[in-house]
């Protein structure tokens, strides 16, 4: 069976949805700054996450395999309990799609596709992926992006401004989520090499598509950079 190979950028879509749904430049907006802090409160993040979750549930079929849902949530719970924001009401939802993807929305909403779970070779790999998404929430990445937009957009509503800001930070946030997620996986007793192993096999699969490999050289450079940093980071875990 031919695996549907389109990857719609792990973790990027919800952030884009978030910014496209948020009218961040209006003073009377629900997301206006609160005193000196431009970061969202937990309640604000959860509220925003709910909106993304409603969108996902409206536009995608969800997996109803109770056994698979339980298996994924068992892995997620082991990681959440070790995370830095374990009071968030984390949920982990499986989307019935053959694409290989995982992403998160603000407030602890995590999504993995059936295709990703089918492609994963071990619980260690799934733990690495889910750990990465939990880390995005733990590290308040959406909130920090929002802060950056507020600081730098100067009231501009230019999509280009926002896109540049997102591009500047997404790579940095991916690396942060990788190392933090792998740290959670390691602490929970999973093999921390699960994430780089998964990324490596997935990149091989994608680059085996000639058209994709020609068009996405910069993507492969970025994923290779993530893999290389993880391979250097993981041996340091045993020394901590
Ligand atoms: Zn990510």
Residue 96 placed within a domain: yes
> What's residue 135's pLDDT?
96
Nearest-angstrom CA–CA distance, 178 and 13:
18
pLDDT in tens, 135-178: 999 999 877 777 776 666 665 556 666 666 666 778 889 999 99
pLDDT in tens, 29-85: 333 333 344 578 889 889 989 998 999 999 999 999 999 999 999 999 999 999 999
> What's residue 141's pLDDT?
87
Residue 2 placed within a domain: no
Report the DSSP beta bridge partners of residue 103: 111
Q: How far is the CA of 111 from the centre of ligand 1 (A)?
A: 12
DSSP the chain: -PPP----TTTHHHHHHHHHH--TT-TTSTT--BTTB-SPPHHHHHHHHHHHHHHHHHHS-B---HHHHHHHHHHHHHHHTTSTTTTS--EEEEE--SS--EEEETTTEEEEEHHHHHH--SHHHHHHHHHHHHHHHHTTHHHHHHHHHHHHSTT---HHHHHHHHHHHHHHHHHHHHHHHHHHHHHTTS-TTHHHHHHHHHHHHHHTSHHHHHH-HHHHHHHHHHHHHHHHHHHHHTT-
- Sheet of 91-95: strand order equals 91-95, 109-113, 102-105
Residue 179 placed within a domain: yes
Q: How far is the CA of 167 from the centre of ligand 1 (A)?
A: 13
User: Which whole number is the average pLDDT over 126-139?
Assistant: 95
Residue 5 placed within a domain: no
Q: How far is the CA of 177 from the centre of ligand 1 (A)?
A: 6
Q: How far is the CA of 188 from the centre of ligand 1 (A)?
A: 20
pLDDT at residue 234 is higher than 80: yes
Q: How far is the CA of 10 from the centre of ligand 1 (A)?
A: 5
Q: How far is the CA of 27 from the centre of ligand 1 (A)?
A: 30
Q: How far is the CA of 31 from the centre of ligand 1 (A)?
A: 23
> What's residue 210's pLDDT?
76
Q: In the chain, pLDDT over 90 holds for what percent of residues?
A: 56
pLDDT at residue 207 is higher than 70: yes
Residue 38 placed within a domain: yes
Q: How far is the CA of 102 from the centre of ligand 1 (A)?
A: 8
Residue 187 placed within a domain: yes
> What's residue 85's pLDDT?
92
Domain of 183 in residue numbering reads as: 12-237
Q: How far is the CA of 178 from the centre of ligand 1 (A)?
A: 7
User: Which whole number is the average pLDDT over 211-232?
Assistant: 87
Residue 154 placed within a domain: yes
> What's residue 3's pLDDT?
32
pTM, two decimal places: 0.81
> What's residue 73's pLDDT?
97
Nearest-angstrom CA–CA distance, 102 and 107:
16
Q: How far is the CA of 159 from the centre of ligand 1 (A)?
A: 21
> What's residue 170's pLDDT?
83
Q: Comparing C-alpha atoms, which of 115, 91, 120 is closest to residue 105?
A: 91
Q: How far is the CA of 100 from the centre of ligand 1 (A)?
A: 14
Domain count, the chain: 1
Q: How far is the CA of 175 from the centre of ligand 1 (A)?
A: 8
Residue 6 placed within a domain: no
Convert 217-239 to b/e letters by CB count within 10 Å (16 or more is b). eebeebbeebbeebeebbeeeee
User: Which whole number is the average pLDDT over 120-144?
Assistant: 93
């Amino acid at each position: 069976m031919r695996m549907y190979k389109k990857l719609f950028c792990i973790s990027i879509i919800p952030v884009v949805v978030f910014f496209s749904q948020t009218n961040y430049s209006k003073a009377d907006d629900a997301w206006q700054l609160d005193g000196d802090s431009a970061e969202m409160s937990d309640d604000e993040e959860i509220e925003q996450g709910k909106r993304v979750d409603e969108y996902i549930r409206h536009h995608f079929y969800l997996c109803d395999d109770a056994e698979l849902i339980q298996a994924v949530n068992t892995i997620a719970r082991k990681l959440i309990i070790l995370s830095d924001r374990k009071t968030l009401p984390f949920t982990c939802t499986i989307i019935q799609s053959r694409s290989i993807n995982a992403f998160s929305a603000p407030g602890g909403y995590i999504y993995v596709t059936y295709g990703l779970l089918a492609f994963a070779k071990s619980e260690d790999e799934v733990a690495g992926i889910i750990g990465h998404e939990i880390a995005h929430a733990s590290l308040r990445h959406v909130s920090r992006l929002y802060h950056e937009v507020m600081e730098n957009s100067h009231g501009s509503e230019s999509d280009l401004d926002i896109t540049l800001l997102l591009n500047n930070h997404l790579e940095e946030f991916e690396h942060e989520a990788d190392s933090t997620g792998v740290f959670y996986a390691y602490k929970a007793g999973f093999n921390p090499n699960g994430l780089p192993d998964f990324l490596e096999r997935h990149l091989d699969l994608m680059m085996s598509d000639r058209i994709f490999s020609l068009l996405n050289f910069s993507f492969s450079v970025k994923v290779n950079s993530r893999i290389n940093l993880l391979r250097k980071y993981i041996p340091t875990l045993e020394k901590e």
